[in-house]
Structure 1
Amino acid sequence: MNTLIIRVDGNVDIGTGHFMRCLALAQYWQKNDGEIYFVMNNPQSLEDRISLENMNLIKLEEVPASHEDALKLVDIFNELNGDWIIVDGYHFKSDYIDFIKQNDCKLLLFDDEGKLDNYSPDIILNQNLHAHNINYKSLKDYTKLLLGTDYVLLRTEFLNYLNHEKPIKDVATNILVTLGGSDKNNYSLKVLKAINNIDDDSLNVIVLLGSKNPHKQDILDFIDESKVNITLLQNIKDMPSKMEWADLAFSSGGTTVWELAFMGVPVIVGGTSHIEEVLIEGLNKNNLFKTITKLDEIDESNLTEIISEVIYDEKSRKVMSLDGKKFVDGLGCSRVYKNMIEK
């Protein structure tokens, strides 16, 4: 049995996207008789998801990304006779990665920006469209690059839709709003207000919130006053069914974008952080989806105009749907797993 150890964090500040893409690869390892150990500092609500997946959780007391953190991770790897370590998070720097490699651990690093001083892991995984434009410097001879959307990792629940065909309606009446597991700046409310300004009583909206979203009551108060039919759902387990329901999604620029692309859902992507702005650059260069680089800088009236335009433009939504499915085919986990086993 192969043992996979995953060092990742997830909370209101970091969000849950890093955890979710690690979970997708963990599920694939588990399906191939792997034993999974998540090593996390302050896992919060993610602890329940790990238990539901019948995977193991080791809670760290050490300061995240510190030398003590790295030392503890290597000890765990040795005690469990590990085969691979996965590290995912922007707070893990070159010295952390180098220490792990110096202790003879096989290591896969998720990297979205290419901003570390040097790179020593066995595999660098960047599943974004801008990945091929990054100049990964100071690479080791043994390091393998897995770049681009061929390596998008999708959780098991999505793979039931491998041959799914998305119907595109004349008017996108079902709108899914999903702006991250934490959405600490409450962009969800901003988008809901913009949709509410559209004078169309046929619109139905589902807004998805993570379990730790601090703005739930504000959104519920707005829903009570809204002219649009809005349903709030929290801590969703079956994300694919909600995406299948949607004629259009408004999403932040993280992992969810690739899930929507696979499902053939037309998307308006709003950047909520610096790294999402980088991801959106890749979308723009490949003419994929409608994008708003900085969601905090657009006013409500302009946001309403953009959303309304896409709702009533069947042709552009059809193009988005077809292009999304071309970029993400659902086989990313198998490709990454194969490269890890070959190593």
Structure 2
Amino acid sequence: MNVFIRVDASIDIGIGHVMRCLTLAQKLREQGNMVSFICREHTGHLCDFIEINGYKVLRLPASQVNLKITNYTKHSKWLGVPLSVDATQTKNLLRKGFVDLLIVDHYAINEVWEGSLREVVNKILIIDDLADRKHDCDVLIDQNYFEDYPIRYHSLVPPHCKTFLGPSYVLLRDEFYDQWSEQEIRSGAVKRILIFFGGIDHTNETGKALATFLKMNRNDIQVDVVVGRNNLHKRKLASICKQYNFLHFYCQVANISELMRQADLSIGAGGTTTWERCFLSLPSIVWSIADNQVEICKTLSRKKIIKYLGEKETLEQTFLTQQLENLIENEVERNEMSRLSYLLMKDNIVKHQSMIQQIMRLEE
């Protein structure tokens, strides 16, 4: 198949959408498909990173300052241009060759955009998390866990659309499956903590977590602090870590799964990383850094899979310190979180492989 992926990264959007699309791209490329990306050059884009990973990137121009954008969706401004403009620009790029499959991972794109692309593509696959708008697509993937996740899209996709819903269909890189082969439910004392809040972290939640840990005076615990290349606070965080031999600083790592596997406890945000931690049965303290993470975190917290502390705007350091201290000392609770994470994700390997094979058969 000739596959194109329409996805963006930016300071506002973050990097999670691109990262999971790269995972799907790798799976499709391993099956002999040609995969290319279409990305807009927002501030904080990852076009160069995608190209380093061996994919052609067709670039859309950066948006003009103060451009008026109609709110077709809650995240319309993330597109950077009006919906019709983005659709036309994308369509013009795709007219140059036949497209078997167009994959779209973008909160600002809806059925209007998708429908207008039908004349130049054979099939459309949507990756979504929100279930807040209609889609004109043949396949939809939503990896998230809600109380009603099996029926979330009943009125939002066409009757013929094939849906893959829930954590069993999380797009995980091969490195996580490699680590899972040695997976076991976590037990024992907390000797190592992982702090990771994604690739951007513009409000410096990493610094908040790090400051809380340092106030506890637990130099018997090793801490891995991970940030992305676009983290604006990375130099300050690196400087802090250099002052303590039990703090280890990493920027843009290629082995986050290994660091998760080595950790006994994690501190981080909701989002894609949530499923990576769950897949490796890693107990986690979590707070949400974006609106779309809140309900997922609440659901997982009610199921006692994670320790959710609320939204970043309302989280007080005193409460964070108390919860961190309690969880470090409570092995029984951490063990149960690990066990429940395992049960949630145990079907992923089989169902993920099945999903890829069904995507491969779309051109038939």
What TM-score do you get using the length of structure 1 for normalisation? 0.91
Question: Corresponding residue for 1:289?
Answer: 306
Maintained 8 Å contact 1:27/1:156: no
- Other-structure match for 1:59: 59
Q: What is the rounded CA distance, in whole Å, between the counterparts of 2:198 and 2:151 in structure 1?
A: 26
Cα deviation for residue 100 of structure 1 reads 2.1
- Please give the residue correspondences for 1:114-193 in structure 2 after superposition, counting only pairs within 5 Å: 114-116=131-133, 118-130=134-146, 131-132=149-150, 134-166=152-184, 168-193=186-211
Identity %, equivalent residues: 24
Aligned counterpart, 2:18: 19
The equivalences for 1:193-208 within 5 A come to 193-208=211-226
Deviations 1:256-294 (A, max 9, x none): 111111112111121111001022133134331111221
| Counterpart-to-counterpart distance in 1, 2:169 and 2:310 | 24
Hey, what's the Cα distance between the residues in 2 that align with 1:333 and 1:169?
28
Q: What code does the residue aligned with 1:129 have?
A: Y
How many residues get paired?
340
Counterpart of 1:54 in structure 2: which amino acid?
G
Shift in Å, 1:296: 2.4
Name the counterpart of 1:271: 288
Residues 179, 261 of structure 2: 8 Å contact kept: no
Give the counterpart letter for 1:124 in structure 2: L
Counterpart in 2 of 1:211?
A: 229
> In the alignment, what sits opposite 1:5?
4
Tell me which amino acid in the other structure corresponds to 2:293: E
What RMSD over aligned residues (CA atoms) do the two structures have, in Å? 2.2
Match in the other structure for 1:47: 47
* Residue aligning to 2:92: 75
Instruction: Name the CA distance, whole Å, in 1 between partners of 2:121 and 2:4.
Output: 14
SS in 2 for 1:185: coil
Structure 1: how far apart are the matches of 2:175 and 2:242? 32
CA distance in 1, matches of 2:301, 2:233: 30
Counterpart contact for 2:179–2:258, Cα < 8 Å: no
In 2, Cα distance between the equivalents of 1:148 and 1:285? 17
| Contact 1:112–1:128 (8 Å) recurs in 2 | yes
Q: TM-score, normalised by structure 2?
A: 0.86
**Which letter does structure 2 place at the counterpart of 1:294?**
E
Q: After the TM superposition, which segments of 4 or more aligned residues of structure 1 sit over 4 Å from their partners?
A: none
Segment drifting more, 254-263 vs 128-137: 128-137
Distance 1:310 1:34, change over 3 A: same
Question: In 2, distance between residues paired with 1:289 and 1:31?
Answer: 34
Q: Please, which runs of 5 or more residues in structure 1 have no aligned partner? A: none
Whether 1:336 aligns to 2:355 is yes
Greater RCO structure (CA 8 Å; 6+ sep): 1
Determine if contact 1:24/1:155 at 8 Å carries over to the other structure: yes
Query: Is residue 277 of structure 2 the alignment partner of residue 260 of structure 1?
Result: yes
Which stretches in structure 2 are left out of the alignment for 5+ residues? 64-78
